[in-house]
Amino acid sequence: MRWSESYLFTLKDKPADAEIPSHQLMVRGGYIRKLAPGIFTYGPFFLRALKKFEHIIREELGKKGGVEILMPMVHPKEIWEETGRWKEMGAGLLKFKNRNDQEFCLGATHEEAVTDYVRGDVKSYRDLPFNLFQIQTKFRDEIRPRFGLMRGREFVMKDAYSFDVDKAGALKAYEKMYSAYEAIFQRLGVDFRIVKADSGNIGGDQSQEFHILAQSGEDELLVCENSDFAANVEVCPAVSEPVESSDSENPLEKFETPHLKTIDQLAKALKVPSQELVKTLFFNKAEPDSEVFEPVCVLTRGSDEANPIKLKNLWGLSNPPRLLSDKEVFEVSGAHPGSCGPVGLKMPVWMDHSLKGRKNMVVGANEDGYHYRNANLGRDFKVAEFADLRMAKEGDLSPDGKGTLKSFRGIEVGHIFYLGTKYSEKMKAQFLDESGNLQPIQMGCYGIGVTRSLQAAIEQSHDADGIIWPPSVAPFDLHVCLLDPDSPESLQLVDSIEKSLHAQGASIFVDDRQERPGVKFKDADLLGFPLRLNIGARSLANGEVELVDRATKEISKIKIAEAPQEISAAVQKKKGTHVH
């Protein structure tokens, strides 16, 4: 392809609203253009990368028996009401009415749609198992779309759904998808980790996420230094050293703390580490959008954070519970946050495991400006439940006991779930088993953020000058900077290189604009194809052309007579050997 025949507009300056390098570079390189917040046009070059990645996905899913379909992106309200998710998904589902006042939403995920599809066809155990997938545009009305395609409102997802007769079959399907995903991200050529994850709104009780590691990642991952244990911090079990205090219980004593509002201020004033203090929080133990008001007190060490996802799962909610407002805290405890504690509360108190065994604790007195010293469990207050309520953190013992945890930032690019019968029961997707009994189908669901993965690959692979595409999905394999675009010799050489590359299925992009070499080199670096070839009158006179490796900037001189073969070989090598 020639620049002059293409649609490509690069920008010198980074767009004001792009915070992270991959977003800046994609806009500067003309790969994406914003139509509205979180909604983008994919330019012709990004579309090439997208198609290559989709091809990898199709091949790997095909190897595991995946069958491709394409479902509607507009869904009737009724199917989402069958599962209760019309309400549960909240404002993330974009809902609207048609001219007949019928309600619809844009597909944010397709468990309901696919279950409806399948229940119409499947009758017997003989019809199972199978695995359906699609690559399609999703819409989620994200509160804060940002970072370009990373958190878009409209984005491309690959979603797959497995259907089996029993749990063993469903877990086998899960394992197959796990290995397909491993192969997909290996072929993409990125550094990724697989971690235990929360099932979120999707449901089910086993789930893992695939993360591309990058500084700007929105997720924190905790990985054991010595084993393969890895989890999203949202669900990572927190291991706490047991406290075995042999201190005797001292008398409860109220003392003034007029200006001490935070744990840090209190720790400083009392000259004790915040870890030795107790943090008191109040949550509503009900769905965040419900009318029910059921205040619960949660206690952790002063240095810890309560984990709302763990609370959600412990309390059987579908969304994380909300913290009480300052006003509500005052109403239920008699004090404002900063002076609250468990003594005298009329509500259940949940205590994190790490506080078990503590004696003579400092806690808020439920009176503004006062704390208690020597508060003791049993004597001064009661605990309804001990549980793992806190965020695990770097330096904690790994739950598998094999070392300590290290923290990484990751971008979630894939997510696999074992669902069980959550959807099939509610939507009556059933089959007759061998004994003639009706059974709900066992399901799994599996997503890849296709557009997010590509941007995440760029976030992981770029330098100050531009993108360094993984060769597997680079829009073109070779970028030719034609320095004298009118020279017939140059054009002839380009033609023979192009023929040789096309013969092996490789692609070539030729910058044939009337521009200075410096401008062309800058754009080539920005666009980031794996190899660049400089062809100009001077190089032709010397009988040599320059091949530049985008990643290492290494230059090799190639004799013109051997150029077509040598360049084909170099392209082949790039494609074949790239492993992150």
Task: List contacts with ligand ATP (CB under 6 A).
Answer: 109, 140, 142, 151-152, 155, 157, 200, 202, 412-415, 447, 449, 452
Q: Does 415 bind Mg ion (CB under 5 A)?
A: yes
Q: Which is nearer to ligand ATP, 148 or 364 (CB)?
A: 148
Report the run of H or E that residue 405 belongs to, with start and end. Answer: strand 405-420
Q: Which is nearer to ligand ATP, 196 or 279 (CB)?
A: 196
Q: Which does 348 bind (CB under 5 to 8 A by kind): ligand ATP, Mg ion, none?
A: none
| Cα separation, 469 vs 302, whole angstroms | 45
Q: Which is nearer to ligand ATP, 152 or 341 (CB)?
A: 152
**Least gap, CB of 449 to Mg ion (angstroms):** 9
Could you identify the residue written with the tokens 């090439």? 48
**Least gap, CB of 104 to ligand ATP (angstroms):** 20
Q: Which is nearer to Mg ion, 415 or 575 (CB)?
A: 415
**Least gap, CB of 20 to Mg ion (angstroms):** 20
**Least gap, CB of 417 to Mg ion (angstroms):** 8
Q: Which is nearer to ligand ATP, 209 or 477 (CB)?
A: 209
**Least gap, CB of 197 to ligand ATP (angstroms):** 8
Listed ranges 63-71, 247-255, 316-324, 411-419: which one lies at the site for Mg ion (CB under 5 A): 411-419
Phi, psi of 420 (to 5 degrees): 70, -135
CB count within 10 Å of CB 84 equals 11
Q: Which does 237 bind (CB under 5 to 8 A by kind): ligand ATP, Mg ion, none?
A: none
The gap from C-alpha 295 to its chain's centroid, in whole angstroms, comes to 32
Listed ranges 17-25, 325-333, 413-421, 503-511: which one lies at the site for Mg ion (CB under 5 A): 413-421
Is residue 8 a contact partner of residue 515, using CB atoms and an 8 Å limit? no
Instruction: Write out the two tokens for 145.
Output: 């779309």
**Least gap, CB of 236 to ligand ATP (angstroms):** 16
Listed ranges 352-360, 410-418, 482-490, 513-521: which one lies at the site for Mg ion (CB under 5 A): 410-418
Is residue 474 a contact partner of residue 530, using CB atoms and an 8 Å limit? yes
- Read out DSSP for 234-274? TTPPPB-PPP---PPPPPPEEEE-TT--SHHHHHHHHTS-G
**Least gap, CB of 189 to ligand ATP (angstroms):** 17
Handedness of CA 212, 215, 219, 221 (dihedral sign): positive
Could you identify the residue written with the tokens 């909240």? 90
**Least gap, CB of 58 to ligand ATP (angstroms):** 17
- Read out DSSP for 192-217? EEEEE---TTT--SEEEEEEEE-TT-
Q: Which does 196 bind (CB under 5 to 8 A by kind): Mg ion, ligand ATP, none?
A: none
**Least gap, CB of 46 to Mg ion (angstroms):** 23
Is residue 209 a contact partner of residue 195, using CB atoms and an 8 Å limit? yes
**Least gap, CB of 463 to ligand ATP (angstroms):** 25
Cβ neighbours for 35, distance < 8 A, ≥ 6 positions apart: 41
| Cα separation, 197 vs 227, whole angstroms | 18
Could you identify the residue written with the tokens 């595409």? 469
Q: Which does 21 bind (CB under 5 to 8 A by kind): ligand ATP, Mg ion, none?
A: none
The gap from C-alpha 117 to its chain's centroid, in whole angstroms, comes to 28
Q: Which residue is nearest to Mg ion (CB)?
A: 415
Q: Which does 334 bind (CB under 5 to 8 A by kind): Mg ion, ligand ATP, none?
A: none
Q: Which is nearer to ligand ATP, 309 or 361 (CB)?
A: 309
Q: Which does 295 bind (CB under 5 to 8 A by kind): ligand ATP, Mg ion, none?
A: none
Q: Which is nearer to ligand ATP, 342 or 449 (CB)?
A: 449
Q: Which does 347 bind (CB under 5 to 8 A by kind): ligand ATP, Mg ion, none?
A: none
Phi, psi of 62 (to 5 degrees): -60, -40
Listed ranges 66-74, 249-257, 414-422, 513-521: which one lies at the site for Mg ion (CB under 5 A): 414-422
Q: Pick from 21, 453, 452: which is nearest to 215 by CA? A: 21
Q: Which is nearer to ligand ATP, 158 or 371 (CB)?
A: 158
**Least gap, CB of 57 to ligand ATP (angstroms):** 12
- Read out DSSP for 350-369? EEEGGGTT--SEEEE-SSTT
| Cα separation, 238 vs 438, whole angstroms | 42
Q: Which is nearer to Mg ion, 231 or 267 (CB)?
A: 231
Listed ranges 122-130, 241-249, 298-306, 408-416: which one lies at the site for Mg ion (CB under 5 A): 408-416
Listed ranges 163-171, 251-259, 336-344, 415-423: which one lies at the site for Mg ion (CB under 5 A): 415-423
- Read out DSSP for 409-445? EEEEEEEEEEEETHHHHHHT-EEE-TTS-EEEPEEEE
Listed ranges 139-147, 265-273, 407-415, 544-552: which one lies at the site for Mg ion (CB under 5 A): 407-415
Report the run of H or E that residue 499 belongs to, with start and end. Answer: helix 488-503
**Residues at the interface with Mg ion (CB under 5 A):** 415
